[in-house]
């Protein structure tokens, strides 16, 4: 998509499609945990221990945490700003590239970012620990922000609803800020999660097929299927040639198993026979 210099406004974008599904899922989980904490605190603590991302538990088989952590929010402002960012940025990307592409980018950023962050935490560098805990949608959301910076970098946003700034500069500031948190102290593991999610989003943009991973896989499967059909056609053609040779007749097929009519010239560019 061409870069745009159009300024963003405070007007809310359409609340629909994959963005609505993701926002409602996050908000629903937030209130479910809040109710559980109010009426059954022990059960809530047990649930959070299972759902939040903890590298030590992932190593011991809790791989579901690579997904569930992204739906866990414990603070009101935390989920408010995360969902507003998901709504605004996700709607822009969904309108440009479609719902399936947006879901793939979001969950690739969240899951691959969590996997990378957990692997780094296991090494113990930068004062990180396998017992660190991470949660929230920001790894997936940061992947969306990086995508906007790379694909729509000249689009202007109102940072904190006050400062007008281009998307690419805003994301650069975020990257520098969370890098400083990672190096100097604070929620190091949370900062690492966001940076890893942004990196995963950038790699998705760089290497995923234009239509998304699902489209790329389906195209590859159709290619394998068509190659198999062509193999069967060539094999049948060879058998028919042998049979006709025993009858004293000669028939010819091309390299793709198509019969060559000796009395008719065929257009070599005609691909109507292909599956």
Poorest-confidence range of 169-178, 189-198, 234-243, 256-265? 256-265
The pLDDT assigned to 211 comes to 61
Reported pTM: 0.76
Measured CA to CA, the distance from residue 74 to residue 34 in angstroms comes to: 8
Q: What average pLDDT does the segment 4-14 reach?
A: 57
The pLDDT assigned to 220 comes to 57
Contact by Cβ (8 Å): 65, 58: yes
Q: What average pLDDT does the segment 118-132 reach?
A: 94
Measured CA to CA, the distance from residue 273 to residue 224 in angstroms comes to: 17
Average pLDDT for the chain: 85
Residue 223 pLDDT > 60, yes or no?
A: no
Tell which residue, 206, 187, 95, 98, has the closest CA to residue 143.
206
Q: What is the percent of the chain where pLDDT is above 90?
A: 63
Poorest-confidence range of 22-36, 66-80, 148-162? 148-162
The pLDDT assigned to 249 comes to 77
Burial class, 28, CB count within 10 angstroms (exposed 0-12 / middle 13-18 / buried 19+): exposed
Contact by Cβ (8 Å): 188, 182: yes
Q: How many other C-beta atoms lie within 10 A of the C-beta of residue 100?
A: 15
Helix (H, G, I), strand (E, B) or coil at 164: strand
Q: What average pLDDT does the segment 37-52 reach?
A: 95
R_g (Cα) of the chain, nearest Å: 27
Q: What is the CATH number of domain 17-208?
A: 1.20.1540.10
């Amino acid at each position: 998509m061409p870069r745009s210099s159009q300024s963003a406004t405070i007007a809310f974008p359409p609340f629909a499609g994959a963005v609505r599904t993701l926002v409602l899922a996050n908000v629903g989980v937030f209130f479910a945990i809040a109710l559980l904490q109010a009426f059954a605190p022990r059960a809530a603590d047990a649930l959070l221990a299972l759902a939040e991302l903890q590298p030590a538990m992932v190593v011991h088989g809790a791989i579901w945490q690579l997904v569930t952590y992204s739906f866990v929010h414990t603070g009101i402002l935390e989920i408010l700003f995360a969902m507003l960012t998901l709504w605004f940025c996700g709607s822009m990307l969904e309108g440009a590239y479609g719902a399936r592409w947006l879901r793939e980018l979001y969950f690739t950023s969240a899951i691959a970012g969590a996997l990378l962050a957990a692997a780094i935490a296991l090494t113990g560098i930068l004062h990180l620990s396998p017992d660190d805990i991470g949660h929230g949608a920001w790894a997936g959301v940061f992947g969306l922000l990086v995508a906007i910076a790379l694909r729509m970098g000249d689009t202007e946003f109102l940072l904190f609803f006050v400062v007008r700034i281009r998307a690419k500069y805003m994301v650069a500031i975020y990257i520098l800020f969370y890098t400083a948190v990672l190096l100097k102290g604070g929620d190091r593991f949370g900062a690492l999660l966001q940076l890893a999610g942004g990196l995963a989003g950038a790699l998705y943009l760089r290497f995923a097929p234009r239509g998304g991973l699902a489209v790329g896989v389906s195209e590859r499967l159709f290619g394998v299927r068509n190659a198999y059909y062509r193999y069967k056609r060539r094999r049948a053609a060879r058998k028919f040639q042998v049979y006709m040779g025993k009858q004293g007749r000669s028939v010819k097929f091309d390299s793709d198993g198509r019969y060559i009519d000796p009395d008719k010239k065929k257009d070599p560019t005609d691909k109507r026979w292909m599956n």
